[in-house]
């Protein structure tokens, strides 16, 4: 084979796989967000602001465009303070948008024990890591859909950030073009369905999971919500978009019947399965790559409550 041709093929091959997100990157991002220095990322604290700025820097590394004005930081008011959601967008061939989201705030610190920091590695540094990981994955790839990346603030205080961002006048066109929002909520552990699997809250309310699974890469799978009695579909940031009649579901791996770390001090890096998180991010990216406005247009059923 001609050496010049061989070099071209090797270069093309390296570009083909260059978007893979490394385990090292996943560890770097998740560890920073869940570090003691972040002091539990409670909304209204300097450390919460630091987390927002950190996420914004990661969006900048991926050359995302601003969603609003001239910053990734999207301000809103909480108890008299200016706090921030974080939002970036990558333009695709179409104006139609697929959004990836997760909340980055957690519940702060405790003064009652020696370990004072609620690190929130699973809840929800893991979800934000998936959002940043997908921005990494698609950095150099052309996509049919435009891709929006949102890190919500104030979920722990009643979904304050997502409620604020859906009402921003300058984002209404993007909301109208949003085909679906995938909200990552606690994906640090291996699900009860095994590795490389998530469950989707409110699966009975749309055909999003069926359409996703038809295209899913490397045996990644979205399973039905095993905790329907807990009504998780209406208890996370996706519901702010549901009320706008935008297809929006939360995806998780946490076993609600066994998890002992939810809102506890032991929700730290020791419980994170970094191999599984990395696999999910990469296979999610490979799946989204296949989507076009023609083959991916999920619809709600008549069972969903938009109020």
Residue 116, both tokens: 């004072």
pLDDT at 197 over 50: yes
pLDDT at 17 over 70: no
pLDDT of residue 114: 77
pLDDT of residue 10: 45
Q: What does the pLDDT average to over 297-303?
A: 96
pLDDT at 55 over 80: yes
pLDDT at 15 over 60: no
Where residue 6 falls (left for φ over 0; alpha for ψ -120 to 50; beta otherwise) is: alpha
pLDDT at 5 over 70: no
Contact predicate 306/157, CB 8 Å: no
Q: What does the pLDDT average to over 176-196?
A: 98
For the chain, give the mean pLDDT.
94
Query: How does residue 112 score in pLDDT terms, banded at 50, 70 and 90?
Result: confident
Q: What does the pLDDT average to over 45-73?
A: 98
The structural domains of the chain, ordered by start, are 21-289 (3.40.630.10)
Please tell me the distance from the alpha carbon of residue 39 to that of residue 37, in angstroms, as a whole number.
5
Please tell me the distance from the alpha carbon of residue 195 to that of residue 201, in angstroms, as a whole number.
18
Contact predicate 62/143, CB 8 Å: no
Q: What does the pLDDT average to over 25-44?
A: 98
pLDDT of residue 2: 52
Please tell me the distance from the alpha carbon of residue 240 to that of residue 245, in angstroms, as a whole number.
9
pLDDT at 6 over 60: no
Residue 163, both tokens: 């409620």
Q: What does the pLDDT average to over 72-92?
A: 98
Please tell me the distance from the alpha carbon of residue 14 to that of residue 10, in angstroms, as a whole number.
6
pLDDT of residue 191: 96
Query: How does residue 140 score in pLDDT terms, banded at 50, 70 and 90?
Result: very high
Query: How does residue 289 score in pLDDT terms, banded at 50, 70 and 90?
Result: very high
Q: What does the pLDDT average to over 151-162?
A: 98
According to the 3-state scheme, what is the secondary structure of the chain? CCHHHHHHHHHHHHHHHCCCCCHHHHHHHHHHHCCHHHHHHCCCCHHHHHHHHHHHHHHHHCCCEECECCECEEEEEECCEEEEEEEEEECCCCCCEEEEEEECCCCCECCCCCCCECCCHHHHHHHHHHHHHHHHHCCCCCCCCEEEEEEECCHHHCCHHHHHHCCCHHHHHHHHCEEEEEEECCCCCCECCECCEEEECCHHHECHHHHHHHHCCCCCEEEECCCHHHCHHHCCCHHHHHCCCCCEEEEECCCCCCCCCCCCCCCCHHHCCHHHHHHHHHHHHHHHHCCCCCCCCCCECCCCCCC
pLDDT at 256 over 90: no
Please tell me the distance from the alpha carbon of residue 307 to that of residue 301, in angstroms, as a whole number.
15
pLDDT at 44 over 80: yes
Of the ranges 49-63, 112-126, 203-217, which one carries the lowest mean pLDDT score?
Answer: 112-126
Q: What does the pLDDT average to over 163-188?
A: 97
Please tell me the distance from the alpha carbon of residue 237 to that of residue 125, in angstroms, as a whole number.
15
Query: How does residue 12 score in pLDDT terms, banded at 50, 70 and 90?
Result: very low
Between 14 and 145, where is the model more confident?
A: 145
Contact predicate 183/155, CB 8 Å: no
Query: How does residue 9 score in pLDDT terms, banded at 50, 70 and 90?
Result: very low
């Amino acid at each position: 084979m001609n050496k010049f041709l061989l070099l071209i093929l090797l270069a093309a091959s390296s570009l083909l796989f260059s978007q893979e997100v490394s385990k090292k990157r996943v560890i770097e991002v998740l560890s920073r967000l869940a570090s003691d220095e972040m002091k539990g990322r409670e909304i209204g604290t300097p450390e919460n602001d630091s987390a927002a700025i950190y996420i914004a820097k990661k969006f900048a590394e991926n050359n995302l465009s601003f969603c609003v004005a001239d910053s990734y930081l999207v301000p809103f008011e909480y108890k008299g303070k200016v706090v921030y959601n974080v939002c970036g967008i990558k333009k695709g061939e179409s104006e139609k948008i697929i959004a990836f989201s997760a909340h980055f705030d957690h519940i702060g610190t405790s003064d009652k024990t020696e370990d004072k920091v609620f690190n929130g590695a699973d809840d929800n540094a893991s979800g934000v890591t998936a959002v940043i990981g997908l921005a990494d994955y698609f950095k150099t790839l052309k996509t049919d859909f435009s891709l929006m990346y949102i890190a919500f603030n104030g979920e722990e205080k009643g979904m304050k950030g997502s409620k604020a961002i859906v009402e921003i006048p300058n984002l209404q066109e993007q909301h109208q073009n949003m085909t679906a929002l995938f909200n990552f909520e606690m994906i640090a552990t291996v699900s009860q369905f095994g590795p490389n699997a998530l469950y989707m809250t409110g699966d009975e309310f749309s055909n999003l999971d069926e359409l996703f699974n038809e295209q899913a890469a490397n045996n990644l799978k979205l399973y039905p919500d095993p905790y329907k009695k807990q009504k998780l579909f209406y208890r996370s940031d996706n519901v702010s978009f549901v009320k706008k009649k935008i297809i929006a579901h939360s995806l998780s791996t946490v076993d609600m019947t066994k998890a002992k770390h939810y809102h506890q001090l032991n929700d730290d890096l020791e419980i994170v399965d970094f191999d599984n998180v990395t696999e999910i991010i990469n296979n999610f990216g490979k799946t989204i790559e296949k989507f076009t406005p023609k083959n991916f247009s999920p619809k709600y059923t008549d069972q969903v409550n938009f109020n």
